[in-house]
Amino acid sequence: MKTTQRPGWTPSRLREHREAHGLTLEAAGERLRQAAGRHGLSVPAANFQTLWGHEQGTVFPGPHYRRAYCLLYEATEPELGFRPPLPGESQKAEIVISDLPAPADPAADNAAAQVIEEAFTKVSVGGIESGDSPQALLRSRVVDAWRRRHGGGSPKPILVLVGGYAGSGKTEFSRFLSDITGWAFLDKDSLTRCIVERLLISLGGDPNDRHTDLYLKEVRPLEYRCLMETAWDNLNVGTSTILSAPFIAELKDAAWFTRLENRCAAKGIDVAAIWVRCDPESMREYIEFRGAARDAWKLGNWEQYAEGLQVEASPPTAHVTVDNRLGSAISLADQTREALKRILT
């Protein structure tokens, strides 16, 4: 039987975890589909043949399958043998759902807040400084927003920009923030893609162009203007808003960000910038997985595209850098969601 070679992959661990949970391949497939369904993940089929292929090493599980396995077995990717751990990364699941308080437990509110706070700290590069640092203030706003949804917290709105390269995980991390805070979530591609494609065609260009001067000079500024104006519609009525977009040029421009901060301050609105860092190999894997036409040029010219990525540096205006190398931050976000559901439902 031919196996798929992948650095650090130990397929046999999947079988070990399945058997430790007392599951057959069929039962594991059913629970895998349930876990995926709760988190909006796509695991086509998830039948016993597919799971058998994963356990035998003939097929390496895709991004959504790996996330679903982590949820099913309450384990991390390194613990399940998908990859080696990152430096300093725990190989054990940080959040053990079975140890959390039941919903009726009076400690549930504090336990949920602690889960959120710890997750936000662990995904941040360098951790969170104490006191009034921008990182600590943003973390406090996230926890405060969760409390506000359950009867307390501050009504002061906040604008959160979540930036990163294509396939870095910025949209998934934005969804996670929106899930736990209740803040409005706006994704640039969802909001503007249809208009962008039609405008490019009307200008004689390729609807999937995201790299030529035609897009960069004529279309991109309008795209970001639409995103920001929609955010202001929310903020002006007191609705905190999370924006997911690359924000590559914007977050490098200190003057642009200062103007945004000043405008927000004049309206009594807080503003925070998050940069999602990821490695090129993981970004490429996710770009291939999502199969979006707008990514065709990137994939067809990957070496040229990757040379322009500054994966080790964060923009100077970013308050928090989320470490999503090898999908580690999104995996922790999944665990946090699952833990909160265990506490609150």
Judge whether 80 and 14 are in contact, CB under 8 Å: yes
* pLDDT per residue as tens digits for the range 47-78: 989 999 999 999 999 999 999 999 999 999 99
Structural domains in the chain?
1-93 (1.10.260), 115-344 (3.40.50.300)
Cross-strand partners of 163 = 275
Judge whether 143 and 173 are in contact, CB under 8 Å: no
Tokens of 246: 């690359």
Tokens of 131: 């006191």
Judge whether 113 and 146 are in contact, CB under 8 Å: yes
Q: What pLDDT was estimated at residue 96?
A: 46
The CA-based diameter of the chain, rounded to the nearest angstrom, is 66
Average pLDDT for residues 186-207, to the nearest whole number?
A: 97
In the chain the beta strands, taken as DSSP E runs, fall at: 158-163, 184-187, 241-244, 270-277, 320-323
User: Which of 105-119, 225-239, 280-294 is predicted least confidently?
Assistant: 105-119
DSSP state of 151: T
* pLDDT per residue as tens digits for the range 281-340: 999 999 999 999 999 999 999 999 999 999 999 999 999 999 999 998 888 888 888 877
* pLDDT per residue as tens digits for the range 23-50: 999 999 999 999 999 888 998 888 989 9
d(CA 167, CA 165): 6
d(CA 43, CA 49): 13
Amino acid at 286: Y
Q: What pLDDT was estimated at residue 99?
A: 47
- Tell me, letter by letter, the H, E, C secondary structure of 69-120: HHHHHCCCCCCCCCCCCCCCCCCCCCCCHHHCCCCCCCCHHHHHHHHHHHHH
Percent of the chain with pLDDT over 90: 66
d(CA 184, CA 240): 6
d(CA 121, CA 107): 21
Percent of the chain with pLDDT over 70: 90
Q: What pLDDT was estimated at residue 178?
A: 93
Judge whether 72 and 32 are in contact, CB under 8 Å: yes
Q: pLDDT-derived band of residue 341, with 50, 70 and 90 as boundaries? A: confident
Q: What pLDDT was estimated at residue 100?
A: 43
Tokens of 188: 């640039």
The CA-based angle 235-184-36, given to 5 degrees, is 170
Looking at per-residue pLDDT, the higher value among 195 and 138 belongs to 195
Nearest CA-CA partner of 335 in 18, 46, 28, 116: 116
Amino acid at 149: R
The pTM of the whole model exceeds 0.75: yes
Judge whether 164 and 172 are in contact, CB under 8 Å: no
Number of Cβ within 10 Å of residue 150's Cβ equals 12
Average pLDDT for residues 138-152, to the nearest whole number?
A: 76
Question: How many residues in total does the chain contain?
Answer: 345
Residue 43 three-state SS: coil
Average pLDDT for residues 116-138, to the nearest whole number?
A: 83
